[in-house]
Structure 1
Amino acid sequence: MQLINKKLDWDKFMELRQGVLNTWPTGQEVDLEEAIDYQSKLPQDRRFASKLEAAKKEGITLAQPRAGVALVLEHIDLLQYLVNEGGADLLPTTIDSYTRQNRYNEAQAGIEESRSVGRSMLNGFPAVNHGLDACREVVEAVKAPIQVRHGTPDARLLAEITLAGGFTAYEGGGISYNIPYAKDVPLERSIRDWQYVDRLVGYYEDKGISINREPFGPLTGTLVPPCISHSIAIIEALLAAEQGVKSLTLGYGQCGNLIQDVAAIRSLEELAEEYLGRFGYRDTVVTTVFHQWMGGFPQDESKAFGVISWGAATAAMSKATKVIVKTPHEALGIPTKEANSAGIKATKQVLNMLKDQPLLETIELKNEKDLIKAETRAILERLLEFGEGDIALGTVRGFQAGVIDVPFAPSRFNLGRLLPARDHHGAVRLLDFGNLPFGDDIKDIHREKIATRGKAEGREPSFQMVIDDIYAIGKGMLVGKPR
């Protein structure tokens, strides 16, 4: 059957559901009506969507770290520390890599090894293996809303267990958790699997339980042009809204240039509301998330705090609804809870100092917003043409043609022809447009800005610029200028 953006028939969903729940024994613990009843009794201060909506109305930015370890009590201890010591407003449960790949036998081995050696031997919390009661133990132990963060092309069983377990937000999507994460997963398959997840979330919504959904904004994390991440965020918002999702948080990964980053967050919310309204999804609440720098970090902790604080300042000045916080151990591996807490404290100090600052309004900002919107609309409109009005079908065909293309992604279903580089001021531009459907007016802006950089640096724009930019922040700079 051809992929289409249409609400999944409930009988078809229930037929699929039996197979999903049979994937691993803990799936049998889930009873949907009992799960609805459990979620309905959670206090309001544990509900992700409510806290985000309140922050949007107040014009403040909430801070959320990444965190997850293998064992239940240790995971609870970590989350409690991040709230009580770090002051996190929202909490994560980052899922381990084996679970992300649906390799539950290996996740179980990681649990047993962690118990044996007395420390986490997994890079996250294996929620599927721990099951329903363990998830509820985590939710009930901390007084802050918790989101599931992972990176799973097929996240159906994980969604069933964690939503029934009381988590009130769920990250990911059929594009953003496939193209940047997997090599051989067909895009059509992952979009179908995430239609299931969103249909499940939509069912909770029908029963009065609002689950926040957040596509993964940064994608490959380094030098991703705003128009690419915006297009994918809006596609996944449209796919989720069709299945009944009402609370959407759309994300963007910091590029480093203040004007471009502020313009990106503001244009993302405006474009999302434009396209959701155009297709009749007028009862959704759109919030935004700004991800602190997702590329290479300095190893020196003091320099790392500089990167973190710059991300916090940009999040505050863009009026993002929340910011995902990095740690001073980013260059070294999985951080300690103390390092994670330190990143949150540094971020919140900056957020509190800047929360009452007025919105930036400059001609440069307006021009950047206009450029991002024009680029994003060009991509989305061509995808709709490819899909004959259907965004799901158009997305699959568009990736095949390179009409939408994620730089540096591992997926063989991504053309991979885009080549981004910074301009003289550090904004991300395109050195090679691949097959993006831009007119000469847009292309000339990119060419001119990169040429200006080349002239200032005394070199011809080339792939070496891209390499220099990728490593620049780790070396203490934004633009990878030759020494």
Structure 2
Amino acid sequence: MKIENKKWSLEKFNQIREEVLKQWPTGQDVDLEEAIEYQKNIEPKKRVTAKLKEAKESGITLIQPRAGVALIDKHIELLRFLQDEGKADILPTTIDSYTRQNNYEDAEAGIKESREEKRSMLNGFPAVNHGVQGCREVVEALASPLQVRHGTPDARLLAEITLAGGFTDFEGGGISYNIPYAKEVSIERTIYDWQYVDRLVGLYEENGISINREPFGPLTGTLVPPSVSHTVALVEGLLAAEQGVKNLTLGYGQCGNLVQDVAALESLRELAAEYFADFKDIMLTTVFHQWMGGFPQDEAQAFAVISWGASTAALGNATKVITKTTHEALGIPTKEANAEGLKASKQVINMLRDQSLASNDKLEKEKEMIKKETKQIMDHVLELGKGDLAQGVVKAFKAGVIDIPFAPSRFNAGKILPARDNEGAVRYLDHGNLPFTEEIVKFHQKKLEDRGKDEGREASFQMVIDDIYAVGQGELVGRPKKNKKEENSCK
């Protein structure tokens, strides 16, 4: 298995494809030529790329939920409700956990049990088991375009079946759907497998079929520094573009500080324009993920978190926002709660449509630092790979030059520690082996020292722990709790 950032030959792709389609019986129903003809007959209003292009040109922010259940009819019922009642612009199909691990036998058992119990016994839609025709049944029953959302290190068969089934957007990548999700899967393995997915999308593109690809921006949650997230988005996007992908939506997950989040969205667009300059015919858009951390159990408080995310997406001019629900702290949401999250987000976005966050020193400083940090990581990755991005990524993970906080993968260094500064922006408490200049290191140290002075404690790992739980407890920054004696003295 040789990893290099080079477009696969058709011969190599077809050789591997024979084995991929044998992973589960439904793979044998995929006929690429027939699938291309089927995709050609999907009208533009049901294509994600057309919807994104229109939103980008109009300067509006689209809304999209997460959702998926085990049975085809119930999945259609759920998505139709989110389309009609929730007014979702783009519909999801969230894939179940068994499929994400390529465990199609247990997914099949889950389908059977769901039929017997008359409710979903899977936490998503088992698209591989339902096959091409099952996916087409879903696509044809709905008026809105659909995206596949999952979390699969090896998504090759899933991509084959869902794209043949009429989906026009496929999420994920070899880093973002490996390091945060799996422990034992190597970077080499997933880059290779996702090159297959991107080459497949490239083949559709060569035949005039516009398919969007979306790296997963939030990675491990809400304390991922923007420069880490941006690096992964750029790397996965560039690897995809090399295989022929022409529509990319680069993602970013909400951290919580408005200025930093808007700066992150703006800097992501600017960095993308720079790094993809050699790919003249690529359409680049952005997606903002509402809060991916712990939620308050109280629904009114949860609505506030959702609205804050919608506000940030609108002010940051994201092309699309992935919405959350008031049931995040409780489990899988009802379709009603999901629709309410969509409607609340849409209301805020509509109210902010003609507004923007005026440029100021804080915003410009955040953008400057995010871009410097990202470029220093990217430069080092390319240097390690001697110009080859794929090889550079593998070596960068081994060296900790790319490092994702709180990830389960043993192929991730896990040395960096993020914490919030006094205003809630995410900083590096420990930057590990990230190749930052002294200027950047001192910038982050000073920000956290200032918080420590204000709270009467040293900047330490305790801040990290406090910040992780803060929003679920009604705050953004995890401040130390005052004891009763201190509270009385303050009074």
Q: Where on the TM-score scale, by shorter chain, does this alignment land: which range?
A: over 0.9
- In the alignment, what sits opposite 1:79? 79
CA separation in 1, counterparts of 2:386 and 2:362? 36
Partner of 1:326: 324
Structure 1 segment 320-399 matched on structure 2, within 5 A: 320-399=318-397
Shift, 1:276, TM fit: 1.2
Residue identity matched to 1:382: H
Q: What is the CA distance between 1:359 and its match in structure 2?
A: 4.5
Q: Tell me the amino acid that sits aligned with residue 204 of structure 1.
A: Y
Q: Deviations over 1:394-431 (max 9, x none)?
A: 00000000011000000000000000000000000010
Aligned to 1:130: 130
Contact 1:298 1:475 in 2 (8 A): yes
Work out which of the residue numbers 457, 461, 464 in structure 1 matches 2:462: 464
Alpha-carbon distance in 1 for matches of 2:324, 2:280: 34
**Deviation at 1:358?**
3.1
TM-score by length of 1: 0.99
For 1:21-420, what aligned pairs fall within 5 Å after superposition? 21-277=21-277, 280-420=278-418
**Residue deviations 1:415-466, cap 9 Å, x none?**
0000000000000001001000001100111000000000000101110000
**Alignment partner, residue 485 of structure 2:** none
Paired residues of 1:6 and 1:242 also in contact (CA < 8 A):
yes
Deviations 1:124-147 (A, max 9, x none): 000000011110010011110100
Counterpart-to-counterpart distance in 2, 1:457 and 1:273: 40
Q: Deviations over 1:352-377 (max 9, x none)?
A: 00011134311111110010000000
* RMSD of aligned alpha carbons: 0.6
Amino acid across the alignment from 2:223: L
Task: State the one-letter code of the partner of 2:226.
Answer: P
Give distance in 2, aligned partners of 1:390 and 1:284: 20
CA distance in 1, matches of 2:344, 2:28: 43
**Alpha-carbon distance in 2 for matches of 1:246, 1:53:** 12
Answer yes or no: is the 8 Å Cα contact 1:317–1:360 preserved in 2: no
- Provide the rounded CA distance (Å) in 2 between the counterparts of 1:162 and 1:269: 29
Amino acid of the structure 2 residue aligned with 1:48? V
- In structure 2, stretches of 5+ residues that fail to align are 482-491
After superposition, the C-alpha distances for 1:6-59 in whole angstroms (9 at most, x for unaligned) are: 001100100100000011000010000000000000011100011001100100
CA distance in structure 2 between the partners assigned to 1:407 and 1:122 by the alignment = 29
Residue type of the alignment partner of 1:478: L
Partner amino acid for 1:187?
Answer: I
Q: CA separation in 2, counterparts of 1:302 and 1:185?
A: 40
Runs of 5+ unmatched residues, structure 1: none
Amino acid at match of 2:455: E
Identity %: 68
SS in 1 for 2:346: helix
TM-score by length of 2: 0.97
One-letter code of the match for 1:184?
Answer: E
Equivalent residues of 1:226, 1:372 under 8 A apart: yes
Q: Secondary structure at the match of 2:251?
A: strand
For residue 81 of structure 1, what is the amino acid of its counterpart?
Answer: F
Letter of the 1:54 counterpart: E
Matched position secondary structure for 2:276 = helix
User: What code does the residue aligned with 2:294 have?
Assistant: G
